[in-house]
Amino acid sequence: MRIDVFSIFPEMFEGPFSTSIIKRARERDLVDIRTYNIRDWAIDKHQLTDDTPYGGGGGMVMKPEPLFAAVEDVRGEDVCPVILLTPQGRVLTQAVAAELAARPRLMLLCGRYEGVDERVREHLATDEISIGDYVLSGGELAAMVVVDAVVRLLPGALGFEGSAVEDSHATGLLEGAHYTRPPLFREWPVPEILISGHHARIVAWRRQQALLRTLERRPDLLATAPLTAKERQWLRAQGYEGPFAEAV
Ligand code: ADE
């Protein structure tokens, strides 16, 4: 997969894109990530990428010309999603990350200042993504979040392939607790079942823990999670009164 990121602060990406899972995925050629400085496509002698808003008001607006030129130059004849990071976009979820991970190429546009000229949104971006209902100083941190959520889903990116499948949200549920050695830390033991060696019972216990944790913390997720009839019945017995999607 290839990901092109356009920003006026490309140096912000250096640490996150050369550390941990993303670093390893790049080394394994699972993803080719390139960052570009939008300023390199600015047309005037001061290399301006922003200007005052028509109609007045505070703040500056990112000019359309450098953004269009940058994307068109790098994209060439290719057709691919051009995603503007903005708090007005559709909210990033695990399902959105999975959808993006299936694409061979993505372009991410990081807005700054008060906003981006509307013609970028209308005629250059093909998608708009928000990472949540809060306002960041720019799209850079949001682009990093999108890249991280997408790259870890690429086959071979995680050491243990099962881990992305069982992640919180990947199953529609939150994951239950995890433990490692020592078996007794201070006066807090690891649950007996995990040390028992009964694989099938451990799988069933983990599923029950995931259901319980989701019920406690995010009961809204139970409405859409794929659940068996038996699990739905069990959740009712635990006091869940909300709706359920179709049984699986
Ligand atoms: N730019 C500023 N805030 C943002 C957000 N919440 N998501 C994506 N891009 C943004």
- For every one of its 248 residues, what pLDDT tens digit does the chain have, with 9 covering 90 and above? 999 999 999 999 999 999 999 999 999 999 999 999 999 999 899 999 999 999 999 899 999 999 999 999 999 999 999 999 999 999 999 999 999 999 999 999 999 867 999 999 999 999 999 999 999 999 999 999 999 999 999 999 998 766 777 788 888 999 999 999 999 999 999 999 999 999 999 999 999 999 999 999 999 999 999 999 999 999 999 999 999 987 66
**Contact present, 82 and 125 (Cβ < 8 Å):** yes
- The number of distinct structural domains making up the chain is 2
pLDDT score at 114: 79
**Domain CATH for 193:** 1.10.1270.20
Residues carrying an active site annotation: 87, 114, 152, 167
Q: Kindly report the protein residue whose alpha carbon is nearest to atom 5 of ligand 1.
A: 87
Assess whether 83 and 204 both reside in one domain: no
- Three-class secondary structure of residue 54 per DSSP: coil
pLDDT score at 170: 82
| Nearest atom of ligand 1 to the alpha carbon of 111 | 1
CB of 172 within 6 A of ligand 1: the answer is no
Residue 99 lies in a domain: yes
Walk across the sheet containing 105-110 and list its strands.
Answer: 32-37, 2-7, 105-110, 82-91, 127-130
pLDDT score at 162: 64
Residue from 167, 152, 146 nearest 93 by CA: 146
Domain that holds residue 76: 2-151
Q: Which of 94, 119, 151 is the last residue of a domain?
A: 151
If phi > 0 it is left, if psi is from -120 to 50 it is alpha, else beta; for residue 213 that is alpha
pLDDT score at 166: 77
Residue 156 lies in a domain: no
Rounded to two decimals, what is the model's pTM?
0.94
pLDDT score at 161: 63
Assess whether 176 and 132 both reside in one domain: no
- Burial grade of 86 (CB within 10 A; 0-12, 13-18, 19 or more): buried
pLDDT score at 234: 98
pLDDT score at 119: 98
Assess whether 187 and 145 both reside in one domain: no
Helices (H), 61-198: 64-75, 94-101, 118-123, 140-151, 162-166, 192-195
Q: Which of 83, 118, 151 is the last residue of a domain?
A: 151
* Residue 183 preceded by cis peptide, ω within 30: no
Residue 242 lies in a domain: no
| CA 233 to ligand 1 centroid distance, Å | 40
Q: How many CB atoms lie within 10 A of CB 225?
A: 21
- Angstrom distance (rounded) from CA 37 to CA 177: 42
Backbone angles phi, psi at 90, to 5 degrees: -70, 145
Residue 162 lies in a domain: no
Residue 107 lies in a domain: yes
CB of 214 within 6 A of ligand 1: the answer is no
Write the CB contacts of 129 (distance below 8 Å, at least 6 apart in sequence): 83, 84, 85, 86, 89, 90, 91, 92, 96, 142, 146
**Domain CATH for 124:** 3.40.1280.10
CB of 150 within 6 A of ligand 1: the answer is no
Backbone angles phi, psi at 246, to 5 degrees: -55, 145
Assess whether 199 and 131 both reside in one domain: no
Q: Which of 120, 151, 182 is the last residue of a domain?
A: 151
Q: Using the structure block, give the residue that is written with the tokens 């991410």.
A: 108
Q: Using the structure block, give the residue that is written with the tokens 């979820």.
A: 93
